[in-house]
Amino acid sequence: LAILIPLTGLLTAYYAELPVLLLGLFDISGYATDNALYTQIRRVHELATLLAMALLVAHVGAATYHHRIQQDRVLSAMVDIDYYADKWRVLRRKFRR
């Protein structure tokens, strides 16, 4: 997905009829206008993007489930929660004054 989404995004821009400016400088669209191919590539791009978002939501949900329901150390293994908790306590004390 990390390769497919940008690749299909560039191909979608390449086959688009409307101008697509890269960095606001270069028009990368309109060189090859094929509406059927544009539609297919755009559909793949959108599905891959939706899949990436679904995987992100599932990952966050699984981490939250392990932390709140299972109460195991899976989330702590990914993120040093104690480190950030200490930083949060310091900030809270600093702004209470």
CA neighbor of 9 nearest in space, from 34, 1, 59: 1
Listed as ranges, residues in the chain with pLDDT below 70 are 30, 32, 81, 97
The boundaries of the domain holding residue 49 are 4-70
Q: Distance between alpha carbon 17 and the CA centroid of its chain, in Å?
A: 26
Position 85 in a domain: no
Position 80 in a domain: no
Position 82 in a domain: no
Position 18 in a domain: yes
Position 38 in a domain: yes
Domain total for the chain? 1
47-63 pLDDT per residue, tens = 999 999 999 999 999 98
Mean of pLDDT over the chain: 85
Position 14 in a domain: yes
Position 81 in a domain: no
- Dihedral sign for Cα 9, 11, 17, 19, please: positive
DSSP 8-state assignment for residue 32: S
Position 16 in a domain: yes
Rounded Cα distance, 31 and 20, in Å: 11
This prediction's pTM: 0.69
pLDDT of residue 96: 78
